[in-house]
Amino acid sequence: MKYFLALLALVMTCLPRPVFAQELFADPRFEHGFQLSPDSALAQKLEIGNLQTGPAPAAAQPSWRLAQWASKYLLQPGACTLVDGAWEARTLGKRLRIERPADGPVSVLLEVLGDAEYGEHMRTYGEAWPHLLIEQRYENPIRPSTFAKLMLHFDMRVVRAVAAAGAKGKLDPGLHTAQATAYWTVHNLSSGNPDYQDMIWFGIPIFDARNEVPPASFAIDAGQAAASGKYICVLDGKRFWKGATGDGQWRTLDTDLKPLLQEALELSRKNGVLQHTQFEDLAITTFNLGWEMPGPYDATLEIRGLSLKASAP
């Protein structure tokens, strides 16, 4: 019997361990709705109320926020309307649409009508620009070093991104565009470290009206009063997408964030940021995805099956 048990134990150690994947986005079906931001990130209160995305009020507070900084036409607290089987809210300058098909992944559509938001005005340097972002804050920050993988998945399509007719001949590529990016704030959360509480923005680009595929970008977050002043590290879109990302076609992203975050840390250190930080010091604290609209564009983005799953080492 002892021989049999020893043999069984040996066999069990040789078998591959099961991989358990934990979903890290709270409420990935957007069933609890959204907290709505005001027009200014400098406002005393950073939420103006909740938006209901189902037939009844949510049983829990929303895990998601809808950021609509520097917007003229804000989505307002209340309930979405059921339109063709999806839950929708809109203003003259914004539209949000949540669809939960019975036989497929949940989709979220984000639309900014820059023509209405800007009117006849063209943005100048230092002026804030309209946003429409889905955001989530991790109450328990994610330590990438503690997981084997951090697998990000979503399908996306840019349904349209068209400059306002009145902007013809006035667009300055240094000031005006429509762009969509998936961003994470990544902090050093090792108490006692010289970089403690310092951070970077890490991004995977989705669309930029100035390029068929958005390029890498390394810069300090600036250009408006509410900017964080922190380092932005956006990797080259050609590493994730093939073909012009604004052609209206569905594209799929499946990537492990862990090595990408290691790369972002190395790039940041080469640029004088987080000089005392090791990968084990890093923690993901927030996520956002959607439109930033420094130019007068009418633009629609649809995201389907958004997921971030962590597997144990």
Contact yes or no for 149/258 (Cβ under 8 A): yes
Q: Are strands 94-99 and 107-113 parallel, antiparallel or unpaired?
A: antiparallel
Question: Is residue 73 in some structural domain?
Answer: yes
Give the chain's domain count.
Answer: 1
Looking at residue 11, its pLDDT comes to: 44
Looking at residue 12, its pLDDT comes to: 47
Looking at residue 8, its pLDDT comes to: 47
Looking at residue 3, its pLDDT comes to: 56
Residue 292 CA to residue 310 CA, distance in Å, equals: 28
Two tokens at 310? Answer: 């962590």
Q: pTM for the full model?
A: 0.91
CATH number at residue 182: 2.60.120
282 beta partners: 188
Question: Is residue 268 in some structural domain?
Answer: yes
Question: Is residue 1 in some structural domain?
Answer: no
Structural domain of 84 = 20-311
pLDDT in tens, the chain (313 residues): 555 555 545 544 555 554 568 999 999 999 999 999 999 988 888 899 999 999 988 888 999 999 999 999 999 999 999 999 999 999 999 999 999 999 999 999 999 999 999 999 999 999 999 999 999 999 999 999 999 999 999 999 999 999 999 999 999 999 999 999 999 999 999 999 999 999 999 999 999 999 999 999 998 888 777 788 899 999 999 999 999 999 999 999 999 999 999 999 999 999 999 999 999 999 999 999 999 999 999 999 999 999 999 999 8
Is the backbone of residue 22 left (phi > 0), alpha (psi -120 to 50) or beta?
Answer: beta
Question: Is residue 246 in some structural domain?
Answer: yes
Looking at residue 140, its pLDDT comes to: 95
Looking at residue 19, its pLDDT comes to: 53
Question: Is residue 178 in some structural domain?
Answer: yes
Looking at residue 226, its pLDDT comes to: 77
Count Cβ neighbours within 10 Å for each residue of 120-155 and write b for 16 or more, e otherwise.
Answer: eebbeeeebbbbbbbbbebeeebebeebebbbbebb
Looking at residue 68, its pLDDT comes to: 97
Question: Is residue 3 in some structural domain?
Answer: no
307 beta partners: 153
Question: Is residue 224 in some structural domain?
Answer: yes
Question: Is residue 6 in some structural domain?
Answer: no
